[in-house]
Structure 1
Amino acid sequence: MRRLRPATVRARATAGAVAVVAVALALASVALLGLLRSGMLRNAERDAEQQAVTIAQLAAGGRLDRMRAPVHGADFVQVVNARGRVLRATPNLAGLPALEPAGPQRPGTVFRTWRIRPLGGEHRQRVVRVTTQTPDGLVSVYVGTSLRDVDAADDTTTAALVVGGPLLLALVALVTWRVIGRALRPVEAIRAEVAEISDRDLHRRVPVPPTGDEVARLARTMNTTLDRLESSGIRQRQFIADASHELRSPLTVLRTQLEVALAVRDPELWPELISGALEDTDRLERLCSDLLLLARIDAAQPAASARLDLGGLVRDAVDARLGDRVPVRVRAEDGVVVEGSELWLTRVVTNLLDNAQRFAAAGVEVTLRASGPPDARTAVLEVRDDGPGIPPADRERVFERFTRLDDARSRDHGGAGLGLAIARDLAAHHRGTLTAEPSPTGARLVLRLPVIAPAAGTD
């Protein structure tokens, strides 16, 4: 069965269309033949019944001698008494026995179809029998009408359907094959173009047909996907280049310090050289950790999620910091509950504080509040510093990876340009946002996260 099944969409659609039309044509043919046959048969019965009723009325009044020749629509008449004797008959039945030798049993009208061979016809006869009571007993009047017109119409219609049905199915198959082929032509063009696109040809796009239909929407969606792939490839190459550059610098310095330590024979200088080498090693370790975290975020790897009191998390993150250059003031509302990873949200707060500590002049201020309607509250965490601030044109660029507004100053303070990028990615992972917003002095970074309702039974 699988081998007989059409292999292409075009063939399956054509076969389906032909099958549906064939079933519909068969049902319509049966209905047409039935309606045609029943209509013509009803007309023949009506004419024969009228003739039979008229003759039966004559018999009931004892006036069978007044019976006339059959009118148009009746081929023969035969009148039979209760003993089966023929009382009257048309010339074409003269001398023939009764159609039903048993004779009439009770009054009524009966319709039957017979083949009366003595009439010399090859068509069937529709016979109407009307039985009535007469002074001499029950009498049955048989009136027959030929079904030649019914049979001829039936044969003609059947022949027309036998010849026209396959032609119609062939026409449906041809039209469906052509229409489906034309409709799928853009799909084949899209497939061929996508098959030729390699990882080095992501700038290429599939053709968009001017039809505005589902195929055109498919082509536009494919081009949008290629846009994302190209952008992802560009970001990946840029990320690799920036990461290589960031790793090369501390490695070069570390190698230089180690070579100097080998060349210098004075033991008193070794602690200073080793201390410098350790600082660069720490910088390499932090950079590798940031790169691994970014890779994990990009891969959308899930982290353990729980209900968290964001105010308590912020206070714990601030209290855990030792040796900050400037003091940190915290004002946080109680009962601001969010859902997420405690480790990752702590990393967001830590990165925001690290960024503020690098540029603050005298202090850093952290505020937490909940805003919005009761059914859609949002946690708003602001980290402000009194440093030089962020120019309006750079408020989005600071969240790009390896971005430094002041490269030399950031490098001196140990930043690789990944802290804010990691913080924004982690915020997005928690269905939140991180933005740089206007501030009268210094920088103002705002984290927004959806607040969840407290669990039942908690205050």
Structure 2
Amino acid sequence: MSRLFGSVRARATLAATLVVAVALVAAGTAVLLSLRSNLLGEAGTRAERSARDVATALAVGTRYTELSLDDDDRPVQVVDEEGTLVAASEDLERITGTGVGAVKPQPAATGDDARDRDSDDDDDDDDFDESLEAGEIGEPSTVGDGTATVDGDTADYRFVAVPVETRGGDHLTVYAGAPLSAEHGAVNTALTVMLIGFPLLLAVVAWVTWLVTRRALRPVEGIRREMAAITASEDLARRVPVPGTHDEVARLASTTNETLAALEDSVERQRRFVADASHELRSPIASLRTQLEVAAAHPELLDLDGAVEDTVRLQRLAADLLLLARLDAGERPADARVDLASLAREEAEGRRGVSVRGDVAVNVAGSRGQLGRVLANLLDNAQRHARSAVEVSVRREGEAAVVAVADDGEGVPAADRERIFERFVRLDAARSRDDGGAGLGLAIARDVAVRHGGTLTVHDAPAGGALFELRLPGV
């Protein structure tokens, strides 16, 4: 079970089903409430109509005993201002919800009945009726819901009260009810349909979502299988299939292939780096071993200067390899304030044929040690290729700090101006191991510049040699 719901497909199906279920419940509840409200409103209208009919009859002079209240579907009560039931529907056996529980009329000996008896004694009813004006009907009000038993049948009703003033000045209230059986039937029918239809609809939604997600995730499964095969075979030249849908899955596959390509390139560069480093280390180690073996057999033949030179070369190469390893690991440079003009003068001090221009402080943020290493490598490279002079200039251009190192040598061909920044690359014999170069100086300088948010490029110098330009964000 945990494995089933651990899949994206199952979670998507469950989520879609739950969302639709919540929406259906909310919509169904709204529909039921709206339907019930409308039906209750219609029942109230029918009850008001019934109450008005009775109130109208009373207002024009109809006596209690002459009211037509024999409709089984319309329980009616007529109550005087003292709360006494003076008229009611025929066969009304019980009633609740009107506030008057009586079902048998008890006419008071006042008002119309009193005048009725007087008119019987004097035999002049017509003259009496013509002397009175018609009564008034008040505003109806909804009493609420209740029950009534008429001729043995009990049902729910909505009751409405209508006040009326008769021609004789009596204040009465007419209570009339309309049955709620239609409302209950319609609501129950709608609820039954929802209880049956909603689960079926949810089943359809779950099934469709399951099929759609299976189709949508099929390319993802293909990508997963291919990635598993690549991991097992360690063949980084393989690529995952890219579907032709131009959607998120296709972009995922494209990005995965780009990542594989970058990983393949990184692994290849790492292999070349290890091979080149081994080759570079082999030469000074072999030379040093040979000198020590000769010295062990013939101490008088020991070339102490050569042994020291080889040891220094090993030390420099080890330091370069360690720095490159730290840069490849993403080591962040320090955030110290460094004056490039002062740093350039320090690195140029003691070097023959090197001059520095730029006395104004040009500050940048970074590692003083790493930036000093960049300048030292650039100066070493320039001195190795220069005929007689190397010139260093430090200046500010807008927000950037610029250090330019120019020599009067042969320069760098345009086709090789990016290649020289690769590791262990030498363009000609001038960059030989005998001169102490291992092909790492410019690669280290470029990496350090990039880590500091800057650039390192090479151009033609005014004197005809090479011009290396270091640009860093100024502070």
Q: TM-score surpassing 0.5?
A: yes
Q: CA deviation at 1:396?
A: 0.7
The verdict on how the C-alpha distance between 1:76 and 1:409 changes in structure 2, with shifts beyond 3 A counting, is closer
**1: distance between equivalents of 2:412 and 2:419?**
10
Q: CA deviation at 1:69?
A: 6.6
Of 289-298 and 180-189, more deviation after overlay is shown by 180-189
**2: distance between equivalents of 1:85 and 1:332?**
115
Structure 2 counterparts to residues 39-78 of structure 1, below 5 A = 39-64=38-63, 67-68=67-68, 75-78=74-77
Q: 1:194 aligns with which of 202, 227, 232?
A: 227
The verdict on how the C-alpha distance between 1:392 and 1:4 changes in structure 2, with shifts beyond 3 A counting, is closer
Q: CA deviation at 1:162?
A: 0.9
Q: Does residue 422 of structure 1 match 2:444?
A: yes
Q: Does residue 208 of structure 1 match 2:207?
A: no
3-state SS of paired residue (2:357)? strand
Q: 2:291 aligns with which of 254, 257, 268?
A: 257
Q: CA deviation at 1:195?
A: 2.2
Q: CA deviation at 1:146?
A: 2.0
In the other structure, the counterpart of 1:237 is 271
The verdict on how the C-alpha distance between 1:404 and 1:62 changes in structure 2, with shifts beyond 3 A counting, is same
Q: Between the two proteins, what is the percent identity of the paired residues?
A: 50
**2: distance between equivalents of 1:186 and 1:95?**
73
> Residue 123 of structure 1 contacts residue 146 of structure 1 at CA under 8 Å; is this kept in 2?
yes
**2: distance between equivalents of 1:29 and 1:203?**
57
**2: distance between equivalents of 1:251 and 1:4?**
58
Is the radius of gyration larger for structure 1 or structure 2?
2
In the other structure, the counterpart of 1:343 is 369
Q: CA deviation at 1:288?
A: 1.3
Q: Does residue 127 of structure 1 match 2:159?
A: yes
Q: CA RMSD in A?
A: 3.1
The one-letter code sitting in structure 1 at the alignment partner of 2:60 is: G
**2: distance between equivalents of 1:29 and 1:96?**
33
**2: distance between equivalents of 1:222 and 1:122?**
75
**2: distance between equivalents of 1:382 and 1:94?**
113
Cα-to-partner distance string for 1:193-238 (whole Å, 9 max, x where unaligned): 2222238311122222222222222222222221211111000000
In the other structure, the counterpart of 1:363 is 389
**2: distance between equivalents of 1:55 and 1:430?**
97
The one-letter code sitting in structure 1 at the alignment partner of 2:149 is: R
Q: Does residue 298 of structure 1 match 2:298?
A: no
The one-letter code sitting in structure 1 at the alignment partner of 2:412 is: I
Q: CA deviation at 1:62?
A: 2.1
Q: CA deviation at 1:31?
A: 1.5
**2: distance between equivalents of 1:5 and 1:219?**
25
**1: distance between equivalents of 2:95 and 2:459?**
115
Q: CA deviation at 1:410?
A: 2.2
Of 434-443 and 149-158, more deviation after overlay is shown by 434-443
**2: distance between equivalents of 1:162 and 1:391?**
83
TM (norm. structure 1) is 0.86
In the other structure, the counterpart of 1:457 is none
| Structure 1, gaps ≥5 residues long | 453-459
Q: CA deviation at 1:13?
A: 2.4
> Residue 390 of structure 2 contacts residue 405 of structure 2 at CA under 8 Å; is this kept in 1?
yes
> Residue 311 of structure 1 contacts residue 333 of structure 1 at CA under 8 Å; is this kept in 2?
yes
In the other structure, the counterpart of 2:208 is 175
Of 125-134 and 33-42, more deviation after overlay is shown by 125-134
TM (norm. structure 2) is 0.83
Q: 1:114 aligns with which of 114, 139, 146?
A: 146
How many residues are treated as equivalent by the alignment?
A: 437
| Structure 2, gaps ≥5 residues long | 108-137
Q: CA deviation at 1:137?
A: 3.2
The one-letter code sitting in structure 2 at the alignment partner of 1:406 is: D
